[in-house]
Amino acid sequence: MNPRLGIRMALLGVRMARAGGRESAVRLALMTVGVAIGVPLVLLAVAAVPILQSHVDRLAWHRTTAASPPTAPDRALWLAVTDRYDGHDIIRVHVAALGARPPVPPGVTRLPGPGEKLVSPALAELLRAVPDDQLDNRFPGRVAGDIGPDGLLMPDELVAIVGHTPDQMRAMQGATEISGIEQPDAGLDLALIWGVFFGMIAVLVIGPVVVFVAMTARVGGPRRELRFAAARLAGATRLQTAVLAATETALAAVAGTLLGWLTFVLLRPAVASQVTLGHGMPVFVEDVRVPLAALLVVLLGVPLVAVGTTLVALRPVQLTPLGVRHRGRRRPPGLWRLAPILGGLLGVWYSTTLSRAETVTTSTPQQIATQVLSTLSALSILVGFFLAGAWVCMWVSRGMARLSRSVTSLMVARRIAADPYSTFRMVGGAAIAVYVATTLGFVAAANGQPGRSDNQTLFGAGRPVLDPGVVAVHVRGATDAEVAPLMSDGVVVVRLAADDRLVVSCQDLARVTDLGCPLPVYREGFFGGQDYLRLEDLFTLPTPDASSADLIFQPSALAEPGPEAGGLPVQTLLVPTDGTAAAQERVRTLAAGTVPLSRSRTSDDLAVGPLLDVTALAGVLPYAMVFVLVLTACSLTVSVITGVLERRRAFAALRASGVSLGQLRRVVLLETGAPLAITVLFGVGLATLQSLATIRPDDWILPGVEFVAGLGGGVLAAFTVSLIALPFMNAATRLDTVRYE
């Protein structure tokens, strides 16, 4: 088609859309709203991996070691420790410059000198409000400046960089000499781990949007066919007619896409306030972003998808000049429509198995192939759902015909059997939306359990071993002289023997923990082994890294002290207090000043997850479920209205022949409600199978009663909303609607 002629046809399409009256305005508004609701959630799914990657990049300088590449001409002494205060992590970094130009962390312009410290804004505010013996004494020196946003994981992070002399640093156990600050890199490839998950979420979200746009495009279909038939009589080709049909959808899709993008921009602060990544603090608003390439794909792809679905859904507009079209009975859907679902489930299971087995270190072709396979498998399941829906509706009609006891139900069964494809188009948007919501519900159930850590999930060790009020100070092999200021009556000393064995008296340990004698020993399949795992979790020290996969220390066994125990180095001190928060924080502060390398834990600290709990993003999933339920109501309402409008003449003829208005309304209720109920159950079952294929068996758990009740109530509410079309049955089936030709 000539480009100039194409532009003219598009302009004519705009004029026809404007001249379409109230139906056209409603159709445009519905499509715009549907796309505007879907685009922000798609952008959020696309932004999830950049949020995680930004977090890892901001965390990079905390991973600085002696092996970090040089970033400055001179060197520095370095000791970084992760501590806790009032349930929050505190990063304290002890430094000493070994020249005029030492390596400098991001967010600051220089290293603090001896007697100085640089603190984050949140920590500076906290230091002014808390007594010195509970917090400030952990960071000796005066505050000489702030740490900027570039050096923080999140706005409320608690970080302090403490300056010392080189001699003071060399006397600190664990201090290392560095030549550079660790820089952000792709070493921790979160995109390959979580890109699969959030890619699947984006695919699942697009599905209900596509169905909703397809259904809204059918509103007022018969009248639009008359207009397009007139255009064909005037000489328009099939391609030109397609341009006319697509122009209206393109206008609404572009407007909805721009409105959705603007909504995403406005919602970024709210999204950032909800994403905590396991720290209990919101991330930076700047980190909630969509890469330019992905943003262009969404902003350009959504209108193209909307136009494509319109062309597919409006195939009847491709009329002959006289509007004559042979309508034969379509073949019943075959069993082959389940093949994409089976293939997708196998692909998801296989790709998930591969991703768990792969070592996540670098971006390898195998890992990229795994991600592509997983995304394509999820897409295959969604496409299979579209295809299998008509097959399910066909069996619904057969079941209703066999069980039918009234004329109304028999009419509905014959109607569905005649065209199960149209029936599924009516309820497909709701069924797919429920499938998406159920899938997200399984993810939230598996990943959103309060206080869940990996060890607790795998072994069921869900409660801390320390008695309340006891502070475990890990001094990592210090001498008795170094820990002398921490010694007092009631302190239990745990010493370190060869082969990472811990030596401690069972009776002493029982005074500060909930364990009894003898010392627990781990044996596979033995219930008492869980006590050993909880005790092991107390003494295990993870690195302050982006994950807890690498450990500084993990005990190999527990043993009673022997004659030589007094000469062993001290690994941990278990210090009882009066149980108040102030007393526990004073012990922590004294430990930080006595042994700068020390880390402290309480029973409350043991009840929380690892430093970076990426599954905390599951907190956003309830908002996604609200979205799909809204689309359920909108899609179902539009489908019922469209069904009444498309068959108003047939309904009027039935009413004129003696069928009561109540029977006609029951026909609409049955042909919507019965397929809806069965296809919704089909979607729930499919989501359950998909969750079993993607979630570890130890992590898999049924969604809570609240979720099931909310989902069922949402579907029922959506069905109730869709019944607003029934009052219009009287006006739509008046006797003057019957035309005699």
pLDDT at 356: 62
**Across residues 51-62, what is the average pLDDT?**
83
**Residue 162 shares a structural domain with residue 258:** no
Which has more pLDDT, 571 or 526?
571
pLDDT at 206: 63
741 occurs within a structural domain? no
pLDDT digits (tens, 9 = 90+) for 395-409: 999 998 888 878 888
The vertex-196 CA angle with 155 and 371, nearest 5°, equals 130
Residue 553 pLDDT grade (very low, low, confident, very high; cuts 50, 70, 90): confident
pLDDT digits (tens, 9 = 90+) for 244-295: 777 877 888 888 899 999 999 998 998 888 777 766 788 899 988 888 888 8
pLDDT at 470: 92
For residue 427, how many other CB atoms are within 10 A of its CB? 31
DSSP result, 473-499: EEEEEE-TTTTGGG--TTPEEEEE-GG
Q: What are the residues whose beta carbons fall under 8 Å from the beta carbon of 57, sequence distance 6 or more?
A: 184
Which has more pLDDT, 352 or 589?
589
244 occurs within a structural domain? yes
**Across residues 50-60, what is the average pLDDT?**
82
200 occurs within a structural domain? yes
Strand, coil or helix: 576: strand
User: Does the pLDDT of residue 478 top 90, yes or no?
Assistant: no
pLDDT digits (tens, 9 = 90+) for 295-334: 898 888 888 877 777 676 555 545 455 544 445 556 888 8
Residue 529 pLDDT grade (very low, low, confident, very high; cuts 50, 70, 90): low
Which has more pLDDT, 480 or 646?
480
Give the whole-angstrom CA distance, residue 555 versus residue 519: 14
**Residue 590 shares a structural domain with residue 638:** no
615 occurs within a structural domain? no
pLDDT at 585: 93
**Residue 587 shares a structural domain with residue 473:** yes
Give the whole-angstrom CA distance, residue 281 versus residue 274: 9
Give the whole-angstrom CA distance, residue 217 versus residue 533: 59
Most confident of 35-44, 274-283, 524-533: 35-44
**C-alpha distances in angstroms, 385 versus 4, 265, 392, 436, 687?**
41, 32, 10, 11, 11
> What total of structural domains would you count in the chain?
4
**Residue 482 shares a structural domain with residue 598:** yes
Domain final residue pick, 575, 606, 637: 606
Residue 359 pLDDT grade (very low, low, confident, very high; cuts 50, 70, 90): very low
Instruction: Quote the DSSP letter at residue 665.
Output: H
Q: Residue 188: name the closest of 291, 53, 82, 58 by CA.
A: 53
**Residue 336 shares a structural domain with residue 418:** yes
pLDDT at 56: 79
pLDDT at 623: 58
Tally of helices (H runs) and strands (E runs) in the chain: 22, 14
**Across residues 718-735, what is the average pLDDT?**
73
Residue 112 pLDDT grade (very low, low, confident, very high; cuts 50, 70, 90): very high
pLDDT at 228: 64
**Across residues 130-150, what is the average pLDDT?**
92
491 occurs within a structural domain? yes
**Residue 362 shares a structural domain with residue 490:** no
User: Does the pLDDT of residue 589 top 50, yes or no?
Assistant: yes
Strand, coil or helix: 150: helix
pLDDT at 316: 53
Domain final residue pick, 271, 296, 327: 327
Kindly report which listed range (131-140, 188-197, 273-282, 448-457) carries the lowest average pLDDT score: 448-457
Most confident of 39-48, 204-213, 289-298: 289-298
509 occurs within a structural domain? yes
pLDDT at 210: 64
User: Does the pLDDT of residue 570 top 60, yes or no?
Assistant: yes
User: Which burial class, exposed, middle or buried, applies to 26 when counting CB atoms under 10 A from its CB (0-12, 13-18, 19+)?
Assistant: middle
pLDDT digits (tens, 9 = 90+) for 154-178: 999 999 999 999 999 998 888 899 9
β-sheet bridge partners, residue 492: 574
481 occurs within a structural domain? yes
Q: Residue 588: name the closest of 156, 152, 117, 136 by CA.
A: 136
* Domain containing residue 100: 65-178
pLDDT at 495: 93
pLDDT at 531: 76
pLDDT at 222: 57
What rounded mean pLDDT belongs to the chain? Answer: 78
566 occurs within a structural domain? yes
Residue 627 pLDDT grade (very low, low, confident, very high; cuts 50, 70, 90): low
**Across residues 102-122, what is the average pLDDT?**
93
**Residue 218 shares a structural domain with residue 307:** yes
Kindly report which listed range (264-268, 448-452, 472-476, 681-685) carries the lowest average pLDDT score: 448-452
**Residue 442 shares a structural domain with residue 576:** no
User: What stretches of 469-597 adopt beta strand conformation (E)?
Assistant: 470-478, 492-496, 501-503, 541-542, 551-553, 557-559, 570-576
**Residue 89 shares a structural domain with residue 164:** yes
**Residue 160 shares a structural domain with residue 276:** no
pLDDT at 127: 93
**Across residues 59-72, what is the average pLDDT?**
87
Give the whole-angstrom CA distance, residue 120 versus residue 104: 15
Give the whole-angstrom CA distance, residue 614 versus residue 492: 35
pLDDT digits (tens, 9 = 90+) for 554-567: 888 888 998 888 88
User: Does the pLDDT of residue 506 top 50, yes or no?
Assistant: yes
Residue 574 pLDDT grade (very low, low, confident, very high; cuts 50, 70, 90): very high
For residue 678, how many other CB atoms are within 10 A of its CB? 18
Domain final residue pick, 126, 157, 178: 178
**Residue 49 shares a structural domain with residue 198:** yes
pLDDT at 9: 61
Share of the chain above pLDDT 70, in %: 74
- Going across the sheet that includes 492-496, the strands are 557-559, 501-503, 492-496, 570-576, 470-478, 599-601
**Across residues 720-727, what is the average pLDDT?**
73
**Residue 523 shares a structural domain with residue 596:** yes
User: Does the pLDDT of residue 120 top 90, yes or no?
Assistant: yes
pLDDT at 29: 80
pLDDT digits (tens, 9 = 90+) for 667-686: 888 888 888 889 889 989 99
**CB contact at 8 A, 84 and 588:** yes
User: Does the pLDDT of residue 106 top 90, yes or no?
Assistant: yes
Strand, coil or helix: 519: coil
User: Does the pLDDT of residue 370 top 60, yes or no?
Assistant: yes
163's enclosing H/E stretch is strand 158-163
Share of the chain above pLDDT 90, in %: 22
User: Does the pLDDT of residue 73 top 80, yes or no?
Assistant: yes
